[in-house]
Amino acid sequence: MNRTILALCATGLLACTGPAAFDPSTVDDASEEQISRVEPLSWWTGMKTPLQLMVHGPGISDYEVSIEGAPGVSVAAIHRAESPNYLFVDLDIRPDATPGSYYLLFSNDSTTFKYTYEIASRKAESARRKSFTTADMIYLIMPDRFANGNPANDSTDDTAEKADRKAPFGRHGGDIQGIIDHLDYIDDLGATAIWCTPLLLDDEPRGSYHGYACADYYQIDPRFGDNALYRDFVTKAHEKGLKVIMDMVPNHCGAAHWWMEDLPFADWIHQFPEYTGTNHCFAPAMDPNASEYDLQQLESGWFVPSMPDLNLDNPYMLRYIKQWAVWWIEYADLDGFRVDTYPYNEKVPMSEWCAAVREEYSGFNIVGECWTSSIPQLAYWQGGNDNRDGFDSRLPSIMDFPLYEAIRAALPDDSPQWGGGMTRIYDCLTHDFVYADLSKMLIFAGNHDTDRIGDLLKKDPARLKIVMTLLATLRGIPQVFAGDELMFVSNDLSQGHGGLRVDFPGGWKDDTWTLFTEEGRRAATRSTDGAEVRRGEAQELYEHAAQLFGWRRQKEVIHHGKTLHFLSRDNTYAYFRYDDREAVFVFVNNAPEATTIPWSHYAEITASLKNGRDVLTGTATEITDRTEVAPRTALVIEFERQSNTEHE
């Protein structure tokens, strides 16, 4: 018998005839002084992911562990950490295990106590869940700045930073309830998925509103709500046909994370004799000439002083973040992940992480933030790419930063010079041959880390309409940052992130003006937190975006069609999205003067087209050399297509 059984027999708490004789009422529940945490918080039957519990409590490594309460579950192994206050416990859950409450029994020579652990029944078809695809449009929300649905949680006793809506880098009070309250707005825009920046507890004393310095990987920040409300948000989003993507940060935690006071292992995080930051350079990860010094600084250096860098080479840490990801998918019924600062992680463990998530959920999409201007370096990080070094990230999707840069360079440029204007987008897409899967490219014109596209384009509604047209029709998965559909601009460009992450007017109880309603969007000139618009222009841009993204929802040729584009030197850009049944023609005139569409240039595909319709006006459209396109305008025409043609 092991020490646990012997101790229970000696105290009379367990008859030596076997587990069936165990009476839980004779054993005290663990106090918070004995066990402070067991993670993951719960588990499910029928999972492929091996379960390893991380148990934290004073001197807990002195205890043996067994499990009682139902057949089919047993302790397979116990691992002790360097800190005496941790145990890592492997549980074996057989396929025939009964769902329910189990008792973890902790015992040493003098003490025995129990801890209740829930192993629930897995939701039917959970493993076959759908994820976000090219059929979706993702709406990006920074929750603290979107809407305040519950002012009572703006500040809480158990968190360090209190609300101060006037502080650019402070907490403003937006929360999960605020998002729930405005799901109709998101749905009406034509979005089909929501990506929220991190909602987990960030307990830094300053700048905690963004959520990227996690203090507890299993707790929603109480200033946003709680775990149950987050799950309710996902359920309500699903009821409206909206998917939910969780923002994951496996590269670093926050300095206020609870384990920073007592690390299980010295190498749980990367530590140096003095503060060492990352070099913010991805090249060493794939550069055949890279030094070990540069690679180590990339992977091990801290992102900023308040964000300790996690060591994914530690096998317990890697298993911890695998289970963390799977737990949130199963618990909240998630539809996808966005992974922050992806290339800063150790690349081989992160490849294993992606593989583990997709082993559990084969159709689950994960998009990584790989912020690089280099197209070959970006392509390196997409799973399935034919990399010279044989590395496969297993990361399905990547954020298309080169295209983001091309759009932002092209639109403000009035010069049709060689390599300028809309040619920048053409040039970017000519490199599509380097990517493993064009259907898994997230395309965008801005996000929470970039200058507002409204600032860049000086609130020019015509050019902002072109932006929305490009996002709605180019290859990939489009993403819109909340407010860009309404010409949001920064409150103060000199404030950096704090200035561009403006509050959404109407999201707070005391707001006198709202952009969540058509009436508010048609209002006279106003300025609230940088969201300045002229009469009706916000509504005009919103209607343009909503019409295109609403149309896009059911447009298979946009979701899966090929691209055929044409070079020009007059600050225009023409391309077709096509399959064997239909084609969509997009013509962007970014020039300051009107131009006529050169249909004869497109004869290789137009010969197969018939029954054209202008998507924005609904009018029938013929292919004629007299088609004129006004300055700063994008034309979108859908055609039926005859089969058995050259471009199939």
Q: What is the amino acid identity at position 188?
A: D
Tell me how far the alpha carbon of residue 471 is from its chain's centroid: 18
CA dist 574 and 582 (Å) reads 17
Q: What is the amino acid identity at position 75?
A: V
CA dist 397 and 337 (Å) reads 10
Number of neighbours of residue 96 by Cβ within 10 angstroms: 8
Structure-block tokens of residue 263: 């690390």
Q: Choosing from 161, 181, 335, 369, which is the catalytic residue?
A: 369
Enter the DSSP assignment of 513.
-
Q: By the 8 A CB rule, do 321 and 310 touch?
A: yes
CA dist 346 and 251 (Å) reads 8
Number of neighbours of residue 189 by Cβ within 10 angstroms: 20
Is position 369 annotated as part of the catalytic site? yes
Q: Choosing from 154, 204, 299, 340, which is the catalytic residue?
A: 340
Q: Which residues contact 287 (CB under 8 A, 6 or more apart)?
A: none
Tokens 């192994």 map to which residue? 77
Task: Compute the radius of gyration of the chain from its Cα atoms.
Answer: 27
Report the SS3 class of residue 156. Answer: coil
Is position 340 annotated as part of the catalytic site? yes
Measured at the CA of 339, the angle between CA 334 and CA 345, to 5 degrees, comes to 140
Give, in order, the Cα–Cα distances in Å from 264 to each of 60, 82, 86, 253, 318.
12, 6, 6, 15, 13
**Active site amino acids:** 340, 369
